[in-house]
Amino acid sequence: MYRIAILGCGTMGEAILGGLRAVVGAPEVVHVTSRREGRAQFLAKRHGIEASTDNVAACEAADVILLAVKPQAAGKVLAAPGVAEASAGKLLISICAGVTTERLTGWVPQSAVLRAMPNTPSLIREGMTVLSPGEGVTDEHLEVATSIFAAVGRVRVLEEKHLDAVTGLSGSGPAFACVILEALADGGVRMGLPRDVAIELAAQTFQGAARMVLETGRHPAALKDEVTTPAGCTIAGLLTMEDGRIRSILARTIEEAARVAGGLG
């Protein structure tokens, strides 16, 4: 049984902590940290877990270290006195967007380094995580990392060169999806639906359409065509979307998010 420390237990760190504690047989989180003492005390009380501002102590207590700080803080945390030594011989998993395995290894040269990009639906165990192993990561390490993120959703393994695109698509994607969902609900309100009903209809429609793609394995275009009858309301709505260049706008949205992700580290 692997013991995990989460350095910088914010929203995503807490989501992973919750997911792991809900799954029988999952690796155990033994220590979490925060840069603020008040936040550490809150985490300790809420989860009944060892929590502090001491990253060295957390690393010493664990076999696997999950780095969940902001990308700009990664170097400050890992280069702090004692952290590299406390992490030596252990697996370091970083969820810091834009911080490469090469840079991470420079700070903790005796650790096996692996990058992960989860997203916020991990909060409800519907996340999507992509793993990218660096040098020194063994099959066993990859299996452990997969078991951690499988507790909060789906997991894929890709080469590191794809991680900026992953960050733009699935990392930032929930925010983009919420904007579209809100816009659809606004349309329902415009046509007379109560706001709460419009949001529920839009959210369930999004969820249902997404699950159809995942569970049938069919292309979204094929599922779309099944709803699009000749001279019907769906084709009328689709053409309105195309008038607004929605495909280009959304694709460019991912492109821009991925470009910015590459510079975060």
Q: Quick: pLDDT tens for 87-139.
A: 999 999 999 999 999 999 999 999 999 999 999 999 899 999 999 999 889 99
**Each residue of 137-164: b (16+ CB within 10 Å) or e?**
beeebbebbbbbbbbbbebeeeebeebb
Per-residue confidence (pLDDT) for residue 19, from 0 to 100: 87
Backbone angles phi, psi at 236, to 5 degrees: -65, -45
Pairing of strands 112-117, 127-133: antiparallel
For 82: left if phi > 0, alpha if psi spans -120 to 50, otherwise beta; the answer is left
Percentage of the residues of the chain whose pLDDT score is greater than 90: 91
Banded pLDDT at 75 (limits 50, 70, 90) = very high
65 near 93, Cβ under 8 Å?
yes
55/23: higher pLDDT: 55
Sign of CA dihedral 18, 120, 33, 88: positive
Banded pLDDT at 186 (limits 50, 70, 90) = very high
Per-residue confidence (pLDDT) for residue 144, from 0 to 100: 94
Residue with tokens 């990308």: 71
Per-residue confidence (pLDDT) for residue 265, from 0 to 100: 76
Per-residue confidence (pLDDT) for residue 26, from 0 to 100: 81
Per-residue confidence (pLDDT) for residue 27, from 0 to 100: 85
Lowest mean pLDDT among 4-8, 12-16, 196-200: 12-16
pTM of the model: 0.92
Angle between helices 11-22 and 37-47 (to 10 degrees): 20
Nearest to 116 by CA among 84, 75, 83, 160: 160
Q: Quick: pLDDT tens for 199-252.
A: 999 999 999 999 999 999 999 999 999 999 999 999 999 999 999 999 999 999
Q: Hey, what domains does the chain have and what are their CATH numbers? A: 3-159 (3.40.50.720), 171-262 (1.10.3730.10)
Percentage of the residues of the chain whose pLDDT score is greater than 70: 100
Per-residue confidence (pLDDT) for residue 21, from 0 to 100: 87
Backbone angles phi, psi at 7, to 5 degrees: -90, 115
42 near 17, Cβ under 8 Å?
no
Mean pLDDT for the stretch of residues 141-167: 95
Q: Quick: pLDDT tens for 9-36.
A: 998 999 899 888 888 788 899 999 999 9
Per-residue confidence (pLDDT) for residue 190, from 0 to 100: 98
